[in-house]
Structure formats: C-alpha cells, structure tokens
Amino acid sequence: MYTVKEVAKMLDLSEHAVRYYTDKGLIPSILRDQNNNRLFNEESVNWLIGVKILKQCGMSIEDIKTYAELSIKGDSTIQERYEIILRQRELALLQLQEAKSTVDYLEAKTNYYLNIIKGVIADSSNPAKWPLKYELNEVWDTIGAK
Amino acid sequence: MYTVKEVAKMLDLSEHAVRYYTDKGLIPSILRDQNNNRLFNEESVNWLIGVKILKQCGMSIEDIKTYAELSIKGDSTIQERYEIILRQRELALLQLQEAKSTVDYLEAKTNYYLNIIKGVIADSSNPAKWPLKYELNEVWDTIGAK
DNA sequence: TACATCCTTCGTGTTACACGAAGGCAAGAG
DNA sequence: CTCTTGCCTTCGTGTAACACGAAGGATGTA
C-alpha cells in the first residue's frame, strides 16, 4: 500500500498529477484509508503506469478514461480498444514526421547562424530592417518549402 | 495590404490565432486602417510566417517574442539568437526520440491486439479483473522497459 | 503541549488559443 | 433612405492538464 507521495516518486509523476488522475476516475481501484487519504495497492499502481504510458503516447485524459472503461468491461471490447490504439498510432506517426521536419529546420538554422558567426556570409546587407525576412529568405525558403 | 481573414487563409492559421499573435506583439510592423482594422503588408506577412514556423518548432509565444525582439535589434544579437535556436534544437531532438518510442510502443500494442483478435492468444485467463495489468505484462514489460 | 509533517479539498493561475456576444462601419438591395 | 449582409473590432469566458498555494485535519515526536 502506497501513499500519493510514494507512487509519485516511484513513477516519476508529480503529486498533483497523481491526485488529478485519481479525481478524474482514471484509477478505478484506488482505495482510501480512515482519514480519506488515497492508498495505492499493486493494481492501482499498474493502472497508474498504464495511464502514464498512454499519456506519453499523446492520448488525452478523456480518451484514456474511455480506454480504461473499455478495458474494465473485458474481452468484448477488444475490437473497440484496438481501433482506438490504431487511431492513436496514426497520430503518433504524424507527430513523428513533424518532429523530423522540425529537427531538420532547426539544424539548418543553426548552420545558418554558424555561417554568419564564422563570417562566411560577410555581407548581411540590411538585416536590421528585415530581420525575419532575411532569415526566411536564407533558410526557410530552402527547408520550410518541404 | 491584407486583412486578418486574408492572411489567415494565406498562411492556414485561424483568424483567432492571427489576432492573438498581433495582440501579443509578435508582429511589430502591423498597421491599422482608419477603422482600427489590422492591415498586413509584406513585411508583416513575413513576420507572421516566421512566427508560424517557430511555433511549429515548439517554441512558446514568449520565447518567440524574445527571439523577434532580438532580431529587430540587429546583428549584435546574432550570438544570442544562435543559442536560443541551439537550445530549441536540443528540445526538438528529445521530442523526436519520444515520438519514436511512442510509435514503437503503439505498433507493438496494435500487434498485441491483432494477435488476440486472430485468436493466437486463446487463453486470456482473467482479463476482466486485471485488464490494464494484463496488457502491461504482455506488452509494456517488453517495450516500455526501453 | 507544541511543532512538524503528512495528507486533504478548494480555488485560482497558466498557455495558446476557441468561441460567442455586442457593436461599429461600409456597400448593395429594395 | 433604410435594411440587410458581411466584415471587422473588443471583451469576456471556456478549454486541457495540470501547478501552486491556502486552510485545515490527523499523526508522530520532543
């Protein structure tokens, strides 16, 4: 049996977050002691782990709750759960693509700055007047145009 | 000269977002007509493009504002801007790693469900009692353990 | 007994907008 | 010359997922 503080430390979550999850009904097996303090047994800890993982996958609290409720209902909901995970996977793939473009863009931008700092681009014409446009012309047009 | 509606459509932003950015001071060159309507010239549009890109890179409005203000100051701030972009690149790399793990996890989970649905795992012992733990034992322990 | 430490609930603050209300201005229809 | 339409404005509240702090109860120790 663990307290909020203990599970928070165990799972590297904030105590606020742990209370928030329990209050939102994401940990159905949560217990209370005689002073109304939250108590986590092994099952509750496992639920919390599941919630944490699905959150890291980008699922909203609402969706996680839906998914958890389906899990409780048992095998008859497996198809439905599968479809939720499928949709989430599609989202994750999109996010992966975006993360890649972002890294590419920022790499190009660091190189752009490195060149300026090293003096490779000696003539920075009129940067004070069009600072962002200047960068856009140099970097964004080549990278941001995909 | 473009109205809010026009730039919003041009850059695929919501009108709400465009007004929000101007109100936050991210578009210093923004103009107003005699009826106080926002008007965007080419410079303002370029600023807006820059803001949009940095937002996609995961920068907060505050950080974008800081960066924009440095840009206005001119060449003397190049080093500082470079360091901001460097830090942002580190963040982006982290996010890329997370995105990869998330995709991996969700791929494994879809396969897990596919196996169940295809009946490969015939004995689902006591899933109603430990639904999430069941999944955790099957999938998370292998993937989530990194 | 006093204090420190844990827990609780409750209420507000945060970010980056979304949304709707209420109203100003201009142009075309009748 | 009004009426409607359509754009724009500001202002105010709602949202997600917590963070944070206040106020207060129960417990343990000096």
Span A40-45, average pLDDT: 92
Say yes or no for a CB contact (<8 Å) between B135 and A53: no
Residue whose pair of structure tokens reads 């006591």 in the numeric block: B126
Q: How many CB pairs under 8 A join A and B?
A: 144
Backbone torsion region of residue B16, taken as left when φ is above 0, otherwise alpha when ψ lies between -120 and 50, otherwise beta: alpha
pLDDT along chain B (146 residues), means of 10: 93 95 93 92 91 92 92 88 92 92 90 83 43 42 31
- Those nucleotides of strand C lying less than 7 Å from any protein Cβ are 6-9, 15-19, 24-26
Q: Tell me, what's the pLDDT at A52?
A: 92
Say yes or no for a CB contact (<8 Å) between A103 and B86: no
Closest Cα in chain A to B46: A133
Is domain A1-73 in CATH 3.40.50.11540, yes or no? no
pLDDT grade, residue A133 (50/70/90)? very low
pLDDT grade, residue A135 (50/70/90)? low
Taking the CA of residue A100 and the C1' sugar atom of nucleotide D23, their distance in angstroms comes to 48
What is the overall mean pLDDT for chain A?
82
Helix/strand/coil (H/E/C) assignment for every residue in chain A: CECHHHHHHHHCCCHHHHHHHHHCCCCCCCEECCCCCEEECHHHHHHHHHHHHHHHCCCCHHHHHHHHHHHHHCHHHHHHHHHHHHHHHHHHHHHHHHHHHHHHHHHHHHHHHHHHHHCCCCCCCCCCCCHHHHHHHHHHHHHCCC
Distance linking the first and last C-alpha atoms of chain B = 53
pLDDT grade, residue A45 (50/70/90)? very high
Span A15-43, average pLDDT: 93
A25 token code pair? 């009904």
Q: Tell me, what's the pLDDT at A61?
A: 94
- Interacting residues of B70 by C-beta distance below 8 A, sequence separation 6+: B77, B80, B81, B84
Q: What's phi and psi for B58, nearest 5 deg?
A: 90, 10
Higher pLDDT residue, A139 or A84? A84
Cα distance between residue A59 and residue A52, in whole Å? 10
CATH class in words for B4-73: mainly alpha
Measured between beta carbons, the chain A residues lying within 8 angstroms of B65 are: none
Measured between beta carbons, the chain A residues lying within 8 angstroms of B117 are: 78-79, 82
Measured between beta carbons, the chain B residues lying within 8 angstroms of A107 are: 89
Closest Cα in chain A to B143: A53
Q: Which DSSP symbol is given to B76?
A: G
Nearest residue to A106 via CA among A141, A146, A143, A134: A143
- Please give the nucleotide, over all strands, whose C1' is closest to the CA of residue B63: C15
Q: Tell me, what's the pLDDT at B27?
A: 93
Domain boundaries, chain A: 1-73, 95-146
Distance linking the first and last C-alpha atoms of chain A = 53
Largest CA distance in chain B: 75
Higher pLDDT residue, A129 or B54? B54
Q: Tell me, what's the pLDDT at B74?
A: 84
Taking the CA of residue B132 and the C1' sugar atom of nucleotide C16, their distance in angstroms comes to 33
